[in-house]
Structure 1
């Protein structure tokens, strides 16, 4: 009976500590500071993904660099 009483008090003390820490800890703020991720596009020549704002566009296709824009899409992309 003594072991049961000891385990009971340990559980009560652990619950009280958990409850106290939960009340005194500041509430987590929602992460609304982060902007939504930039839309990504795929280069029609090499297939690399990059943000649309950094990509070059020609004939409804996106390219990662001026060289790839001049070379055009690969054979599988035409």
Structure 2
């Protein structure tokens, strides 16, 4: 008789654990769906550094004339 009670308790505990796990997976899936429906950021125009060739967004590049640079170290000293 005590083994039957133990078996029932184990089955109930397993059922509760599975229901909690399913709820957690469902909430994770819903959050992933909401994240996937967010609009993506608009693509940015990229330019290559005239010194090293690294591509950086135009908004972050340091411009000097027709050339663009990725950092102040790569910008020529006469560029100011």
**TM-score bracket for the superposition, by shorter chain length:** 0.3 to 0.5
Q: With structure 1 as the length reference, what TM-score do the two structures score?
A: 0.47
